[in-house]
């Protein structure tokens, strides 16, 4: 047995298990041994809040979003709703103009410039000391604002990430990959709760997060995953990003392989982009944030390399346990390919399908980022 190949095999085993098994246990333990509780309270009077809703060609959901935003359990004179249309060519702006409410404003930008430019302009127009950034397709729970606002009584909190839920009753099609993604979300929620208790969680989901308007950062042009980068740049300013599981946003989730794969490639490209953007921004000022970022994001971003290393080294090692492990890997990937080729569902194929497509998206995202380099990304408005 080649000692170098054997050592590489165990190194790849560690790199594979660390973000999936070891880190969740470590962050849970750290959150219990060294907690940093948020000093929550409900201030009186409540702070003024601005809901900013970027939209591009959202005529199917914009009316429901406006109705939901204007009916939240928050004093009507203490919040406003700004819908920012980014060069929509459908009836998005026309539908929004039909709304007659003192708390509602339409920002109709006729030329499409991309989500980040629209967010920046809309936040500049906002009057609230706190700003909510929320997707057009997300329906907020009635008490979402109240639950999030309570965290800002702690002066160290700069951003609150809400809980994202797939609304099964509003989602007509949820295939095997979607069922696995639901389980993945629950796994992510557990880690976010632990990270938040320890210090800060990473980023937010575009469906719903709240920030101090004064901390809204200058985000480089071409940034892809703005809902991750904005909270992280607030963290780099010395403020915490905390997770509030009681501030819930529901979203229709058309979780089919075809509809989701391009979205995941784009997100994966953004993951590589943000590694090189955020590492210098975080620096060594906050070792806790750096530890969470490396453990939760950086190591995971290179998972396909780890998987290829596991496959290659287990194939080269002659002992029967390694050969069996190699065959199990091959079987797992074949099941994923079977699910992809036949669109078969069921629990047996759900995990291989989700795993295979997820790692393929990471590889394509890396290729995209290498090709693009430092050039700004093209205008795009893809569902998050």
88 vs 56: CA distance, rounded Å = 5
Q: Is the pLDDT higher at 347 or at 18?
A: 18
Tens of pLDDT along 284-304? 788 999 999 999 999 989 999
Contacts of 186 (CB under 8 A, 6+ apart): none
Beta carbons of 115 and 226 less than 8 angstroms apart: yes
Residue 348 has pLDDT above 80, yes or no: no
Q: 90 or 337, which is more confident?
A: 90
- Residue 124, judged by CB atoms within 10 A of its CB (0-12, 13-18, 19+), counts as exposed
Question: Which has the closest alpha carbon to 222: 156, 272, 185, 295?
Answer: 272
In the predicted model, is pLDDT for residue 167 greater than 80?
no
pLDDT > 50? residue 176: no
**What does the pLDDT average to over 49-56?**
97
For residue 280, what pLDDT is reported?
84
CA distance 18 to 291: 13
209-212 and 157-166 as β-strands: parallel, antiparallel, unpaired? Answer: antiparallel
Question: What pLDDT is stored for residue 338 in this prediction?
Answer: 83
Task: Give the residue with greater pLDDT, 324 vs 351.
Answer: 324
Q: Which of 54-58, 164-168, 227-231, 286-290 has the lowest mean pLDDT?
A: 164-168
Q: Count CB neighbours of 55 within 10 A.
A: 25
Instruction: Please compute the mean of the pLDDT values over residues 164-171 and round it to a whole number.
Output: 66
- Model-level pTM? 0.86
107: domain CATH number is 3.90.550.10
Per-residue pLDDT band for 222 (boundaries 50, 70, 90) equals confident
Contact between 85 and 65 under an 8 Å Cβ cutoff? The reply is: no
Helix 176-198 × helix 257-282 angle, to 10°: 20
Mean pLDDT of 59-67: 95
* pLDDT value at residue 345: 60
In sequence order, the 6+-apart residues with CB closer than 8 A to the CB of 48 are 78, 79, 80, 127, 128, 129, 130
Q: What is the mean pLDDT of the chain?
A: 88
Per-residue pLDDT tens over the stretch 97-140: 999 999 999 999 999 999 999 999 999 999 999 999 999 999 99
Give residue-wise pLDDT tens across range 140-149.
999 999 999 9
Which of 167, 97, 93, 82 has the alpha carbon at shortest distance from 132? 82
Q: What is the pLDDT of residues 179-211, one digit of tens each?
A: 555 666 788 899 999 999 999 998 899 899 999
Residue 47 scores a pLDDT above 70:
yes
At residue 273, the pLDDT reads: 86
Asked if residue 232 has pLDDT above 70, the reply is yes
Total number of domains constituting the chain: 1
340 lies in which domain range?
1-384
């Amino acid at each position: 047995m080649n000692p170098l190949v054997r050592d590489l095999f165990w190194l790849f085993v560690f790199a594979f298990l660390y973000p999936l098994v070891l880190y969740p246990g470590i962050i849970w333990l750290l959150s219990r041994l060294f907690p940093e509780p948020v000093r929550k309270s409900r201030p009186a009077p409540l702070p003024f809040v601005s809901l900013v809703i970027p939209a591009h060609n959202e005529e199917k959901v914009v009316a429901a979003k406006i109705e939901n935003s204007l009916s939240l359990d928050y004093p009507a004179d203490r919040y406003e709703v700004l819908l920012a249309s980014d060069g929509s060519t459908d009836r998005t702006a026309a539908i929004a103009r039909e709304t007659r409410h003192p708390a509602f404003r339409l920002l109709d930008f006729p030329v499409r410039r991309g989500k980040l430019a629209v967010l920046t302009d809309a936040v500049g127009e906002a009057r609230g000391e706190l700003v909510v950034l929320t997707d057009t397709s997300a329906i907020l729970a009635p008490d979402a604002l109240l639950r999030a606002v309570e965290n800002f009584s702690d002066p160290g909190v700069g951003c609150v990430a809400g809980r994202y839920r797939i609304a099964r009753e509003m989602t007509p099609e949820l295939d095997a990959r979607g069922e696995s993604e639901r389980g993945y979300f629950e796994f992510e929620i557990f880690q976010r709760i632990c990270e938040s208790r320890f210090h800060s969680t990473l980023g937010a989901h575009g469906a719903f997060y709240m920030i101090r308007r004064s901390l809204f950062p200058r985000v480089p042009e071409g940034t892809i995953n703005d809902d991750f980068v904005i909270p992280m740049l607030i963290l780099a300013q010395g403020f915490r990003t905390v997770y509030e599981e009681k501030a819930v946003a529901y979203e229709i989730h058309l979780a089919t392989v075809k509809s989701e794969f391009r979205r995941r490639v784009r997100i994966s490209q953004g993951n590589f982009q943000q590694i090189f953007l955020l590492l210098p921004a975080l620096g060594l000022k906050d070792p806790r944030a750096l530890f969470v970022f490396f453990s939760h994001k950086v190591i995971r971003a290179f998972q396909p390399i780890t998987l290829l290393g596991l496959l290659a080294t287990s194939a080269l090692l002659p002992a029967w346990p390694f050969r069996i492990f190699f065959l199990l890997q091959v079987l797992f990937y074949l099941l994923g390919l079977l699910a992809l080729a036949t669109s078969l569902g069921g629990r047996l194929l759900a995990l291989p399908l989700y795993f295979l497509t997820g790692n393929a998206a990471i590889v394509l995202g890396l290729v995209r980022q290498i090709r693009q380099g430092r050039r700004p990304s093209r205008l795009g408005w893809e569902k998050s």
